């Protein structure tokens, strides 16, 4: 695909001379570690040490108009997700086929129905969202949405220090006038203020905030930074970390449906795990999810927000006439529709059959996606055709969506990884922008609705996916150009 894509200019001329580059990379690595742009090593894991997180040495250029478009549409997307999450009929019809063939989504849906029937006890919903975009060179370099994350939207913590990191790098290179093109980023504070706002609404000064975490956390900085920020913003609020298994072992509800863990009342639950089947090794973890869902604790996400973030829902929202069910102003509808790219369902109907045919005829134009989060689950290129051929006559296909492949412009720069060579090689890259949003409200009213910051991650142009935690992407920050 890379030959077809146009190029964005780099923020300063590259290559950088070898001597300058080597010294700069050494300093930049230490800056990253010492400011928490770091992760635990997967290769030699230790709770006592950190590696720097992979980074892009120079900030990648991003058209300022498209950056602003992404920022401005966020509060409309927040509102959209919030309304979708509160519409039982829409979620039920949209996911009807999917939950019969996709066991994981089916299990989430069972919990959803249980608590809907029993009556939801949390007072308000807290959405900590991240909408992801790439520039589509086939649409006049407009941004197109990759997906919206309603669970475990990560990198708000580390991304907040990336503009400072790139400011330092540019200063080292003597490029002082370039610094004004790095937009401020307050994602961390924004997300933590959202959690604290929910904590306040819960109304128990002794109650804690619970982070649901994986058994082993590699992306530790991006969770501890939140924890430390919460203490900084309100010194009286304690954060505890537990796995789903630990909640299963030690969690209970008191007579007021408050969640109690190890004697502590939980006011807010922030999920950094629970989005993939592997996080639920046994029934105990599913029971833990149901227990939390039944509780008064304000969950980010609550189960209906989790379901509203599925890829099937994303695809359903792109069908004509659907946005109108949730948004009233034509201008809002237009700005959301503008960021959608082709999204197709694979139901057994005329439209689904057409989509199957499109994928078989031109597999390179599409990405095939199941109902999964966390990276590494999609199919690209010739695999789209192979997988489609295998499943086109089985019910399984209804749990997948077909999405038009976004072709982002290329940029040239240096990706620096732990144990990589110094100097790093110059490479062709593509970037993906994430915009963070916070929303709090109930089915009647919205109390808080904000855009709070951004993150940029960049990968070599030949990689299909660029998850930083998954090891393919690198942290970056946007360098805005006209
Ligand atoms: P996940 O929930 O696993 O993060 P995504 O939909 O975000 O799933 O896809 C993972 C990655 O795959 C994205 O971050 C992006 O790099 C790539 N990708 C997804 N959809 C597209 C698309 N339509 N065009 C090009 N790349 C895509
Ligand atoms: Mg994603």
The one-digit pLDDT tens for each residue of the chain (482 residues) are 444 678 999 999 999 999 999 999 999 999 999 999 999 999 999 999 999 999 999 999 999 999 999 999 999 999 999 999 999 999 999 999 999 999 999 999 999 999 999 999 999 999 999 999 999 998 889 999 999 999 999 999 999 999 999 999 999 999 999 999 999 999 999 999 999 999 999 999 999 999 999 999 999 999 999 999 999 999 999 999 999 999 999 999 999 999 999 999 999 999 999 999 999 999 999 999 999 999 999 999 999 999 999 999 999 999 999 999 999 999 999 999 999 999 999 999 999 999 999 999 999 999 999 999 988 999 999 999 999 999 999 999 999 999 999 999 999 999 999 999 999 999 999 999 999 999 999 999 999 999 999 999 999 999 988 888 777 899 999 999 99
For residues 166 and 395, what is the distance between their CA atoms, to the nearest angstrom?
49
pLDDT (0 to 100) of residue 468: 83
Report the distance separating Cα 102 and Cα 94, nearest Å.
13
Catalytic residue flag (residue 311):
yes
Neighbour-count burial of 164, counting CB atoms closer than 10 A to its CB (0-12 exposed, 13-18 middle, 19+ buried): middle
**Ligand 1 pocket: which of 149, 276, 378, 458 to mutate (most atoms within 8 A of CB):** 378
Distance 226 CA to ligand 2 centre (A): 20
Q: Which CATH architecture has domain 342-405?
A: 2-Layer Sandwich (3.30)
To 10 degrees, what angle do helices 221-233 and 187-202 make?
60
Q: SS3 for 303? A: helix
The strand pair at 208-212 and 264-271 is best described as parallel
Extended beta strands in 262-372, E state: 264-271, 298-300, 343-345, 366-369
* Ligand 1 atom closest to the CA of 341, numbered from 1: 23
- 277 CB contacts (<8 Å, ≥6 apart)? 103, 104
Which residue is catalytic, options 10, 137, 149, 461? 149
The domain ranges of the chain are 18-341+406-481, 342-405
Q: Are 45 and 272 in contact (CB under 8 A)?
A: no
Whether residue 130 lies in the annotated active site? yes
Angle ∠(369,371,372) on CA atoms, nearest 5 = 90
CA of 132 to the centre of ligand 2 (A): 7
Q: State yes or no: is 376 an active-site residue.
A: no
| pLDDT score, position 1 | 44
Quick one: pLDDT at residue 4? 63
d(CA 274, CA 268): 16
Cα end-to-end span (Å), the chain: 25
């Amino acid at each position: 695909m890379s030959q077809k894509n146009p190029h964005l200019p780099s923020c300063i001329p590259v290559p950088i001379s070898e001597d300058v580059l080597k010294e700069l990379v050494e300093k930049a690595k230490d800056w990253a570690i010492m400011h928490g742009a770091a992760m635990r090593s997967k290769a030699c894991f230790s709770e006592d040490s950190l590696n720097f997180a992979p980074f892009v040495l120079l900030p990648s250029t991003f058209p300022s108009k498209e950056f602003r478009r992404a920022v401005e549409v966020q509060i409309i997307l927040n509102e959209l997700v919030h309304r979708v999450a509160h519409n039982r009929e829409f979620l039920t019809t949209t996911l009807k086929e999917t939950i019969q063939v996709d066991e994981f989504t089916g299990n989430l849906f069972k919990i959803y129905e249980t608590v809907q029937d029993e009556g939801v006890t949390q007072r308000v919903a807290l959405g900590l969202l991240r909408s992801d975009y790439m520039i589509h060179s086939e649409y006049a370099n407009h941004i197109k949405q990759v997906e919206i994350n309603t669970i475990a939207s990560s990198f708000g913590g580390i991304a907040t220090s990336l503009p400072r990191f790139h400011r330092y790098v540019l200063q080292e290179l003597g490029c002082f006038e370039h610094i004004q093109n790095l937009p401020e980023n307050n994602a961390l504070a924004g997300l933590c203020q959202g959690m604290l706002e929910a904590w306040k609404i819960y109304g128990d000064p002794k109650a804690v905030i619970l982070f649901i975490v994986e058994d082993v956390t590699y992306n530790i900085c991006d969770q501890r930074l939140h924890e430390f920020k919460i203490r900084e913003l309100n010194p009286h609020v304690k954060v505890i970390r537990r796995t789903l298994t630990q909640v299963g072992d030690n969690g209970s509800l008191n007579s007021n449906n408050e969640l109690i863990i190890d004697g502590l009342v939980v006011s807010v639950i922030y999920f950094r795990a629970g989005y993939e089947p592997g996080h639920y090794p046994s029934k105990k973890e599913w029971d833990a999810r149901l227990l939390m869902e039944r509780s008064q604790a304000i969950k980010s996400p609550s189960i209906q927000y989790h379901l509203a973030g599925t890829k099937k829902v994303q695809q359903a929202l792109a069908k004509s006439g659907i946005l109108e069910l949730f948004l009233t102003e034509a201008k809002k509808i237009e700005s959301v529709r503008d960021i959608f790219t082709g999204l197709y369902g694979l139901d057994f109907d005329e439209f689904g059959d057409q989509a199957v045919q499109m994928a078989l005829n031109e597999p390179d134009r599409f990405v095939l996606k199941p109902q999964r989060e966390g990276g590494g689950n999609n199919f690209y290129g010739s695999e789209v055709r192979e997988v489609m051929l295998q499943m086109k006559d089985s019910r399984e296909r209804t749990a997948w969506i077909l999405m038009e492949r976004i072709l982002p412009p290329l940029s040239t720069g240096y990706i620096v990884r732990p144990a990589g060579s110094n100097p790093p090689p110059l490479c062709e890259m593509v970037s993906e922008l994430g915009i963070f949003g916070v929303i709090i409200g109930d089915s009647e009213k919205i109390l808080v609705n904000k855009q709070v910051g951004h993150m940029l991650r960049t990968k070599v142009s030949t990689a299909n996916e660029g998850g930083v935690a998954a090891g393919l992407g690198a942290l970056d920050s946007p360098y805005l150009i006209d």
